[in-house]
Structure 1
Amino acid sequence: MSEKMIIIGVTGGSASGKTSIAEEIFNSFPDESVGMIQHDSYYKEQTHLTLEERHKTNYDHPLAFDTDLLITHLTELLKGNSVQVPVYDYKISNRSDKTVIQEPTKVLIVEGVLVLEDKRLRDLMDIKIFVDTDDDIRLIRRIRRDIQERGRSMDSVLEQYLRTVKPMHHQFVQPQKRYANIIVPNWIDNEVAVDILRTKVFSFLNESGTKKL
Structure 2
Amino acid sequence: MLIIGIAGGTGSGKTTVARSVIEQLGPDKVTFISQDNYYKDQADLTMEERLLTNYDHPFAFDNELLIEHLTLLKKGQPAYAPVYDFTDYTRSATKTVQLKENRIAIVEGLFVLYDEKLRKLLNIKVFVDTDSDVRLLRRVQRDMEERGRSIHSIHQQYLATVKPMHEAFIEPSKKYADIIIPEGGHNEVGIHMLTILTEKYLTGGGNWPAI
Shorter-chain TM band: over 0.9
Q: Which amino acid letter does the alignment assign opposite residue 142 of structure 2?
A: R
Q: Which amino acid letter does the alignment assign opposite residue 156 of structure 2?
A: E
Q: Which amino acid letter does the alignment assign opposite residue 191 of structure 1?
A: E
Distance 1:31 1:128, change over 3 A: closer
- Per the TM alignment, residue 53 of structure 1 is displaced from its structure 2 partner at its CA by 2.6
Q: 2:140 aligns with which of 143, 147, 161?
A: 143
Residue 81 (1) aligns with residue 63 (2): no
- Tell me the number of residue pairs that the alignment of Structure 1 and Structure 2 aligns: 209
Mapping 1:64-143, distance limit 5 Å: 64-97=60-93, 98-143=95-140
Q: Which amino acid letter does the alignment assign opposite residue 177 of structure 2?
A: A
- Per the TM alignment, residue 31 of structure 1 is displaced from its structure 2 partner at its CA by 5.2
2:201–2:209 Cα contact (<8 Å) kept: no
Q: Can you give the 5+ residue segments of structure 1 that lack an aligned partner in the other structure? A: none
Which residue is equivalent to 1:159?
156
- Per the TM alignment, residue 210 of structure 1 is displaced from its structure 2 partner at its CA by 4.6
- Per the TM alignment, residue 13 of structure 1 is displaced from its structure 2 partner at its CA by 0.4
- Per the TM alignment, residue 206 of structure 1 is displaced from its structure 2 partner at its CA by 2.9
2:38–2:65 Cα contact (<8 Å) kept: yes
Distance 1:153 1:135, change over 3 A: same
Q: Which amino acid letter does the alignment assign opposite residue 197 of structure 2?
A: K
Cα-Cα RMSD: 1.6
- TM-score normalised per structure 2: 0.94
SS of the equivalent of 1:99 reads: strand
Give, in whole Å, the separation in 2 of the partners of 1:193 and 1:199.
Answer: 10
Q: 1:55 aligns with which of 27, 51, 58?
A: 51
- State, as a whole percentage, how many aligned pairs show the same letter: 49
Q: Which amino acid letter does the alignment assign opposite residue 204 of structure 2?
A: E
1:116–1:128 Cα contact (<8 Å) kept: yes
Q: Which amino acid letter does the alignment assign opposite residue 126 of structure 2?
A: I
Give, in whole Å, the separation in 1 of the partners of 2:185 and 2:38.
Answer: 27
Q: Which amino acid letter does the alignment assign opposite residue 160 of structure 2?
A: R
Mapping 1:6-85, distance limit 5 Å: 6-30=2-26, 32-85=28-81
Distance 1:37 1:197, change over 3 A: same
Q: Which amino acid letter does the alignment assign opposite residue 174 of structure 2?
A: K
- TM-score normalised per structure 1: 0.93
Q: Which amino acid letter does the alignment assign opposite residue 3 of structure 2?
A: I
Which residue is equivalent to 1:192?
189
**Mean Cα displacement is larger for which, 128-137 or 23-32?**
23-32
Distance 1:139 1:75, change over 3 A: same
